[in-house]
């Protein structure tokens, strides 16, 4: 049976070391992560290949390696390796047995029932917990047309305040401000700037632009998530299109005079941007490089390009 997009509370989740119905996987309202946002999460995609009747999870191990690395930022004591987390994820997907594109959401978080924001696990009172759930997911944004976005008045959180590279639960209030304002003002999404006025990324996705046939993206030191899709695009552009990527600071006004812009990320995938602040990007249509990378990307994530099958973990 094909899943409908949305959260099925009868689906199976992994919680407190056990597989159980999602509706039973609940935390106490005094849980530290709920009170203070002290958790790290990941977003991972599973793509259904209809011809092969196979679910491919894209770059799963890299996501869990990033989760383990970022857990250190919050002194989270994750007791499972990336390989073990991959095994749990495959088993969970098998139990839910989907036949559509899926979204996978792991969380590692402070599970203490205590008052006070300290990250220390003093006397075992603020332990670390891990949860995992899956759900059907289509397009995070409409990738069939070019997006009309704005440059947000909200700046990206600084590394010395709440590091954007961390995928820290509480930091996504910053994303919520930018995204919500953009939607209320009639835009599809937002671009956020760093504190010094340089381009950082989209509300919850990395950004690339094209100038004179060259792909350009922001530095990891410009308060961005060190994106796995971003890394994928850089490699695919070089190997498949012979297009090099320049990694540097981007000025806001470059967005208004460049040839192409697109977002990328697990949710956004490859999403062309055709207008920024009511100004057409290039000719106002999806650019050639964006279109080519979008097509290449979807062939890769669905396991159709054998050169990159190493990135795709089959579930069945």
Catalytic residues: 167
SS3 234: helix
Determine the Cα–Cα distance for residues 131 and 17; give it in Å rounded to an integer.
8
The pairing of beta strand 214-217 with beta strand 245-247? parallel
Determine the Cα–Cα distance for residues 20 and 314; give it in Å rounded to an integer.
23
SS3 69: helix
What is each CA distance from 33 to 82, 109, 126, 128, 257, in whole angstroms? 22, 6, 10, 10, 43
Which alpha helices (H) appear in 196-273, and where do they start and end?
A: 228-241, 254-257
Dig out the tokens for 55 from the structure: 């679910």
The pairing of beta strand 269-276 with beta strand 147-151? parallel
Are 96 and 134 contacting, i.e. CB atoms less than 8 angstroms apart?
yes
DSSP 3-state helix, strand, coil percentages of the chain (rounded to 5)? 30, 30, 40
Which alpha helices (H) appear in the chain, and where do they start and end?
A: 32-36, 60-71, 82-96, 172-184, 228-241, 254-257, 288-301
Q: Following DSSP, what letter does each residue of 100-123 receive, concatenated?
A: S-EEEEEEEEE--B-SS-----GG
SS3 21: strand
Are 227 and 265 contacting, i.e. CB atoms less than 8 angstroms apart?
yes
């Amino acid at each position: 049976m094909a899943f409908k997009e949305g959260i099925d509370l009868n689906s199976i989740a992994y919680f407190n070391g056990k597989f159980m119905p999602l509706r039973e996987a609940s935390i106490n309202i005094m849980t530290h992560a709920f009170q203070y946002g002290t958790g790290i999460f990941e977003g991972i995609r599973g793509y259904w290949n209809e011809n092969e009747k196979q679910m491919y999870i894209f770059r799963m191990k890299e996501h869990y390696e990033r989760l383990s690395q970022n857990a250190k930022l919050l002194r989270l004591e994750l007791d499972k390796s990336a390989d073990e987390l991959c095994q749990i994820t495959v088993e969970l997907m098998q139990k839910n047995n989907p036949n559509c594109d899926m979204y996978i959401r792991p969380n590692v978080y402070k599970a203490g029932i205590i008052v006070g924001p300290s990250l220390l696990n003093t006397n075992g009172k603020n332990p670390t917990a891990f949860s995992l759930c899956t759900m059907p997911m289509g397009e995070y944004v409409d990738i069939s047309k070019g997006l009309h976005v704005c440059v947000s008045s909200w700046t990206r959180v600084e590394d010395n305040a709440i590091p954007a590279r961390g995928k820290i639960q509480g930091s996504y209030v910053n994303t919520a401000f930018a995204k919500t304002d953009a939607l209320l003002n009639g835009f599809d999404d937002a671009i956020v700037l760093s504190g010094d006025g340089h381009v950082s990324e989209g509300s919850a996705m990395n950004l690339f632009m094209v100038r004179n046939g060259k792909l350009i993206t922001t530095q990891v030191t410009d308060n961005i998530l060190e994106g796995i899709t971003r890394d994928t695009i850089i490699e695919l552009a070089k190997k498949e299109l012979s297009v090099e990527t320049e990694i540097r600071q981007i000025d806001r006004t470059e967005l208004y005079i460049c040839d192409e812009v697109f977002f990328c990320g697990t949710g956004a995938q490859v999403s062309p941007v055709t207008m920024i602040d009511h100004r057409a990007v290039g000719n106002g249509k999806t650019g050639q490089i964006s279109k080519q990378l979008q097509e290449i990307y979807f062939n890769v994530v669905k396991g159709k390009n054998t050169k990159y099958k190493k990135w795709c973990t089959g579930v069945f």
